[in-house]
Each structure stands twice: as structure tokens, then as C-alpha cells.
Amino acid sequence: MTELFVKIFMTKLESKLKLPFKNKELLQQAFVHRSYLNENRNFHLAHNERLEFLGDAVLELIVTEHLYKEYPDKPEGELTAWRAALVNTKMLSLVGRDLGFNDYLMLSHGEAKEEGKARDYILANTVEAFIGALYLDRGLPNAKKFITLNILSRLEEVLKDKLFLDAKSRFQEIAQEKMAITPTYAVIEEWGPDHAKNFRIGVYLNKELAAEGQGSSKQEAEEDAARNALRKNGWK
């Protein structure tokens, strides 16, 4: 990826977002994954992890302030759950995809081939890095505007679909409401050494397998199973 090519891409991104940066290199750095530097050791910019660190704090502040001011009667625990649903990896990776950030990522050849959860994680981190870069370059008001437009705008969906509940809680709530059944979970298979176990777990409704899930812990596999069961049944 030549510097000219990168500059053209960054200009295209600025135009798309209607957010011209004073410091173009700061914008570019937000998209530099650590793996890219492993294959391009003479690249003139650092990776985006420090910007991600900053952006994470800015994002949390803006979202927290909004929830605090707009919902004065809601308890801290409820607001915390709402905030978590707005700033988690799944939501931020969706934001990144919707903004076309995939097209601007600077990754190693190996990372560029990764999809699924690995790419979601990279995209979510990039959104935070972008917010950090935007805050440094254009100040808090512009960072707040971006967050309001692209993240806080999803709060209605979060509340309507109860996305602030984890998948297990959502599946149990809907299963009890629709079928008067409480889901149960059981390990179907486990493999790997003790320090790197993997689990395949089934979620059942009245002993009938509703879906399966996998993960590196039982909790993660149960969440995956519940998520798959929600999707399979067309439940949100």
C-alpha cells in the first residue's frame, strides 16, 4: 500500500464522513493495526493502540454523560447495562462496518484474511482509535457529534430489542414468555489442553436441542449457543 494510495483513501474517508482532519497522519494512524508494522517495519507511523486507549475514554465519557442527563430517574445499574450495550465489541464493529472502515484498515496479509470475531475485534478497536484521533484533531465537540450520530443514535434499538441483556438472559426471557420453558445448557464436547480448552455446548428447551455454541470457556460457549438459538428462532 503506497503512501499516495493511502492519502487518497484517507481523503475519501474524510469526504465520506464530512470530517476533514488538520493532521492527516493522525487520521491514518487510527487505522494502523499492530500487525501491519510487523510486515512494514520502516513505516513512519505507530500502531493505533494508544489512540484506541484515548478513544475508549472519550466514548465512555460522552455516552455516560448522555445517559445520565437524559434518564435522570434510571438507577446506576440499568444505565451501566445500557452503556455496555452501546460500546461493546459487537456494537462498535457494526458501527465500523456501516461507516466502511473495513476498506481503510492497514493490516498484515494474515490479519487481512481474518473474518468473524477476529475482524469484529479489530473494527471495534479502530472505531475507538478513530474517536481518539478525532478528539485530538477536532476537539471534544466534534467527537461528541460523531458519537451522537453514529453510536448514541442506536440507543432506541438497544432499548427496543433489549440488547442490553446478554444473549442467555434474552433467550431465557423470551423462552419463558413464549413457551413457559426455562432453557437448560449441557456440554456436548470439550477438547484441547487444560490451558486452552474449547467447549461445544447445547441449549435445550424441554430436552430438545435448540442450538449449539462454541467458546474457550463454558460461559462463552453458552452465550454463543443462546445467541444462535435466538437467531435460529427469529427472536431478537
Q: Is 56 a catalytic residue?
A: yes
The Cα–Cα gap between 10 and 104 comes to 8
Q: Torsions phi, psi of 195, nearest 5? A: -85, -5
DSSP assignments along 111-138, one per residue: HHH--THHHHHHHHHHHHHHHHHHHHHH
Helix, strand, coil percentages for the chain (3-state, nearest 5): 65, 10, 25
Out of 52, 111, 120, 128, the active site residue is 128
For residue 52, give the H/E element and its range: helix 49-70
Instruction: Count CB atoms within 10 A of the CB of residue 236.
Output: 12
Q: Which residues, 6+ apart, have CB-to-CB distance to 20 below 8 Å?
A: 14
130, 138 contact by CB (below 8 A): no
Out of 52, 56, 111, 222, the active site residue is 56
175, 205 contact by CB (below 8 A): yes
The Cα–Cα gap between 188 and 170 comes to 22
Q: Is 60 a catalytic residue?
A: no
Q: Mind telling me the catalytic residues?
A: 56, 128
